[in-house]
Amino acid sequence: MKIVCFLLKLGLKVLLLPVAFLLRFLCFIWNLLIQLSLWVLSPVMLFVLGCGIYSVVRASWTDVFLLTLIEMGLFAAAVGAGGIMELMERLCERVEDVLTI
């Protein structure tokens, strides 16, 4: 019975190894894309914030509203990408935990 259980665990590990490799690769690529996109996204966010401050000084409240919505959308995109990265890391850790059992 122990031999059958050992063989089943070994088969599971062999099947999960490519999945773990693929998940680690996707985590690496996603992290790289997040870093690159934030290098592009952060100056855009600063520019929108500057335009919003200028619109407040100029008392153009419609522009302030629209720029605030744009800024919130950009911030939500950045936070959402970080959240997805955290979920992918947790999934990778769980698959690796199954492989180490």
Q: Could you give the 3-state DSSP secondary structure of residue 60? A: coil
Angstrom distance (rounded) from CA 44 to CA 67: 12
**Res 64: pLDDT:** 92
**Res 76: pLDDT:** 92
The encoded tokens of residue 21 equal 């490799």
pLDDT tens digits along 80-89: 888 888 888 8
- Given a contact cutoff of 8 angstroms between Cβ atoms, the answer to whether 46 and 71 are in contact is no
**Res 66: pLDDT:** 94
- Given a contact cutoff of 8 angstroms between Cβ atoms, the answer to whether 27 and 81 are in contact is no
The encoded tokens of residue 37 equal 């996109």
Instruction: Label residue 49 by pLDDT band (50, 70, 90).
Output: very high
Identify how many contiguous H helices and E strands the chain contains and give both numbers.
Answer: 2, 0
Q: What is the pTM of this model?
A: 0.69
pLDDT tens digits along 53-71: 999 999 889 999 999 999 9
